[in-house]
């Protein structure tokens, strides 16, 4: 099976210059109540920013963004990001890809932590999920979706934490309610791009189940960690038409 390789250290910059995009109506309504993170804060959170010091990484994420936008055509979409095996960097890539979309002033992005067993995106972003997360909303939808959407300190990037840790995540992901929530989040604003930070493919059916809810899948392989056989096995879980590529991530 053909795999489109995106080497995270090796994707070229695109011609887009985010700073010149025109904000549109729904973005104008998005109020940033919290100050933007400084480059040093971003680096502590393993987040790309606009300064030269992380240029190579931010260009790599912009390259993946370009590829997804080419696949997505004119409409916004849902991207599932998951790693081949635990700790390969799936959450790192999901967080930074969502940030790369938010760099573009004509877009907003929403990062959803869909690793219900071992959620960590709220910790990585320093968000205190005081009013709950995805699981809490799925169990008590009357609370309203707004209560589980948090600012991140990155302009135009919001996040939904996983909420209470749960073992039976596949039941949540295959529920009608989960699909309805994602549909309504995607349809509410045409400039909003959704990113699901999924669990590793190895060992559980969750990533495959989540991929049914996504338009595209980005698979993250740990460079020098995941073998070609393990990567191919992971790839085989997904609809080839949805697979945007494999990112080879080398964590320090």
Ligand X SMILES: Nc1ncnc2c1ncn2[C@@H]1O[C@H](COP(=O)(O)OP(=O)(O)OP(=O)(O)O)[C@@H](O)[C@H]1O
> Which residues lie near Mg ion (CB under 5 A)?
90-91
Q: Which of Mg ion, ligand X, none interacts with 79 (beta carbon under 5 to 8 A by kind)?
A: none
Pair type for strands 157-160 and 150-151: antiparallel
Query: Which residue's CB comes closest to Mg ion?
Result: 91
Q: Give which of 143, 188, 153, 131 is closest to 37, Cα–Cα.
A: 153
Q: Which of ligand X, Mg ion, none interacts with 96 (beta carbon under 5 to 8 A by kind)?
A: none
Q: Give which of 137, 131, 216 is closest to 181, Cα–Cα.
A: 137
29-48 CB burial, b ≥16 within 10 A, e <16: eeeeeeeebeeeebeebbbb
Q: Which of ligand X, Mg ion, none interacts with 249 (beta carbon under 5 to 8 A by kind)?
A: ligand X
Alpha-helical (H) ranges within 128-175 are 134-139, 169-173
User: Taking the complex as a whole, how short is the minimal distance between the CB of residue 56 and ligand X, in angstroms?
Assistant: 11
Site string (96-135) toward ligand X, x via CB under 6 A = -------------------x--x-x---------------
Among residues 35, 73, 224, 252, the one that binds ligand X under rule CB under 6 A: 252
> Is residue 124 classed as helix, strand or coil in its secondary structure?
helix
Instruction: Give yes or no for residue 188 binding ligand X (CB under 6 A).
Output: no
Site string (34-53) toward ligand X, x via CB under 6 A = ------------x-------
Secondary element (H or E) of residue 40:
helix 39-44
Can you give the binding site for ligand X, defined by CB under 6 A? 46, 83, 86-92, 115, 118, 120, 200, 249-252
């Amino acid at each position: 099976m053909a795999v489109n390789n995106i080497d995270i250290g090796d994707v070229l910059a695109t011609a887009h210059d985010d700073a010149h995009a025109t904000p549109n109506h729904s973005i104008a309504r998005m109020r940033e109540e919290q100050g933007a993170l400084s480059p040093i804060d971003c680096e502590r959170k393993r987040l790309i920013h606009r300064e030269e010091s992380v240029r190579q990484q931010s260009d790599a994420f912009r390259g993946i963004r370009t590829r997804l936008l080419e696949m997505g055509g004119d409409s916004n979409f849902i991207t599932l990001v998951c790693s081949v095996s635990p700790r390969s960097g799936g959450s790192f890539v999901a967080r930074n890809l969502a940030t790369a979309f938010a760099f573009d002033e004509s877009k907003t992005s929403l990062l959803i932590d869909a690793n219900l067993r071992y959620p960590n995106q709220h910790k990585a972003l320093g968000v205190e999920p005081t009013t709950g997360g995805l699981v809490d909303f799925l169990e008590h939808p009357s609370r309203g979706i707004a209560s589980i959407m948090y600012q991140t300190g990155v302009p135009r990037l919001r996040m939904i934490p996983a909420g209470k840790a749960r073992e039976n995540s596949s039941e949540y992901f295959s529920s009608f309610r989960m699909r309805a929530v994602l549909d309504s989040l995607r349809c509410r604003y045409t400039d909003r791009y959704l990113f699901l930070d999924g669990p590793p493919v190895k060992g559980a059916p969750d990533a495959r189940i989540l991929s049914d809810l996504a338009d595209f899948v980005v698979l993250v392989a740990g460079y020098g960690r995941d073998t070609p056989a393990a990567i191919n096995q992971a790839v085989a879980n997904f609809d080839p038409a949805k697979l945007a590529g494999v990112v080879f991530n080398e964590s320090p």
